[in-house]
Structure 1
Amino acid sequence: MTRNVLVTHPEPGIALVELARGKVNALDKSTYEEIAATFDAVSDDHSVKVAVLTGRGHVFCAGNDLDEFRTMDSAAAEVQMRTVRRAMFTLVDCSVPVIAAVNGAALGSGFGLTASCDLVIASERATFGLPELNVGVLGGGRFTSRMLPQQAMRRMFFTAEPAEARTLERWGAPIEVVPHTTLLDAALSRARIIAEKSRHALVLAKQSLNGCEPLDLKRGYEYEQTFTVRLSDHPDSKTAVEARMAELAERNSR
């Protein structure tokens, strides 16, 4: 069976997930299902502390496979949308942080996958777009709002015009734009910093941030503090404190 989502482990604690379907990594129903199964497996793998998502070839992900839209009626669309949602939210709900390494065009659902990640690093050649209105569908605006202010997102949605990574950065997207040749190195460098930390703490941190994101300041901070309480009894918490104190003592002794 051909696999459209490939997983390797370039370094301890790091899972590299690559979209690999055709020339533009277009997503069909089976690929969405593969994405969901892949990130469920990453979540369950206690040797993994961080994942990096990228695309093989020159395109990160061109969005949905348009062939499926040709014959899609409302009943089929409802089934497909459930499949898409499940794939997107396995990234959001992945137990460990996910870094998007955007190597080329990220369009439609490709942009949605990017916005579902915790950190985004983009090649200077990367472009982002919401072409949904041009192909007779909707969706993508809510996920894009995680990265862009409302009017920037609406500009992209209503015009369906792509924007370069530097443009998104100028509009306020929290992305790091790097030379194309150093993209994977930059993503792995960030992943390496995260992988140095306790997996137990990372899992709780991801749950905490996901849970407090939709809450107001007061309720969000109260919710976040419950995870501090949960972490405080774990040995990794004390190990981290001791390591930091030793580092500060060494620095002060110089």
Structure 2
Amino acid sequence: MGVSTSSQESGHGKDGVAVVTVDFPPVNALPVDGWFALADAVRGAGRDPRVRCVVLAAEGRGFNAGVDIKEIQAQGPSALVGANRGCYEAFSAVYDCEVPVVAAVQGFCLGGGVGLVGNADAIVASEDATFGLPELDRGALGAATHLARLVPQHLMRALYFTSRTATAAELHAHGSVWQVVPRAELLEAALELAGEIAAKDGELLRLAKAAINGIDPVDVHRSYRFEQGFTFEASTAGVADRIRDRFGKEADR
């Protein structure tokens, strides 16, 4: 359980690819330490001069279910602040990774999962993958910054306000998912794309990543940090606790 990093072996056509895998059973809802561990793993892989592309993957039923709500309920404000900072670090690590990041997404990709893939450079998804922000049903706000990188503005707003999800096929139609494959073929498809990217010159790839980030029309760091302020406001006003308590009771039924 946790976050692990592995490198592809020479001779498989995937030289220069590092795979960062998240595994927090049962649903990959990450605790505070998990978000920071993920950030460290992605940054570390990107700094490795032998790595020219990173694949972000996950074990289990779904890619990511966001933050660990039970941890926040048990520890209160300190856990909320920790989760906010941890998510910010993990999302930033993906965006600022020195080399391109390919997200391999299966099953549910919710909340913080959208923050991760929204900041990735490319997304390969399984046919059963769904993407959404159930934040309003969980007593939180945030990651609209990243959902807006996956779907058009009005669809982002409708998904956000309803807590509905979009399928991998729908995101593929919008151009934000590169490829949709059967679940059994997901990792291999992500590695195939990563291998094609990693075949480029490593120094030039790093320059290209920095250049593309530099012309991004939205400052994802400032935009997401702005959203997080409203998450904290909802918590201090008692709104978040009321909704999280209701969600917890429904989840335990």
> 2:73 is aligned with what amino acid?
R
**1:122 matched to 2:125:** yes
Residue of structure 2 equivalent to 1:177? 180
Which residues of 2 match residues 31-180 of structure 1 at below 5 A? 31-71=34-74, 73=76, 76-180=79-183
Q: Among 169, 194, 198, which residue is 1:195 paired with?
A: 198
Give the 3 Å change call, closer, same or farther, for CA 75–16 of structure 1 in structure 2: closer
When the two chains are superposed, the root-mean-square deviation of aligned CA atoms in Å is 1.7
The whole-number CA distance in structure 1 between the counterparts of 2:79 and 2:193 is 40
TM-score of the superposed pair, with normalisation by structure 2: 0.79
Aligned-partner residue type, residue 109 of structure 1: G
Report the count of equivalent residues: 213
Structure 2 residue matching 1:6: 3-state secondary structure: strand
Q: Which residue of 2 aligns with 1:7?
A: 5
Contact 2:35-2:83 within 8 A present in 1 as well: no
> Mind listing any 5+ residue stretches in structure 1 that lack a counterpart?
216-254
Question: Contact 2:55–2:104 at 8 Å: present in 1 too?
Answer: yes
CA contact under 8 A between 2:6 and 2:18: conserved in structure 1? Answer: yes
Name segments (4+ residues, structure 1) moved above 4 Å. 71-76
Give 3-state SS (helix, strand or coil) of 1:111's partner.
helix
CA contact (8 A) 2:95 2:119 kept: yes
**3-state DSSP of counterpart to 1:205:** helix
Shift in CA distance, 132/72, structure 1 to aligned 2, threshold 3 Å = farther
How far has the Cα of 1:173 moved from its partner? 3.2
Is the 8 Å Cα contact of residues 23 and 59 (structure 1) preserved in structure 2?
Answer: no
TM-score (normalizing by structure 1): 0.79
Shift of residue 172 of structure 1?
4.9
Which structure has more relative contact order (CA 8 Å, sep 6+)? It is 2
Task: Give the partner amino acid of 2:19.
Answer: L
In the TM superposition, residue 17 of structure 1 has moved relative to its aligned partner by 1.0
Q: Give the distance between the partners of 1:79 and 1:56, measured in 2 at CA.
A: 24
| Secondary structure of 1:148's aligned partner | coil
C-alpha separation in 2, matches of 1:192 and 1:182: 15
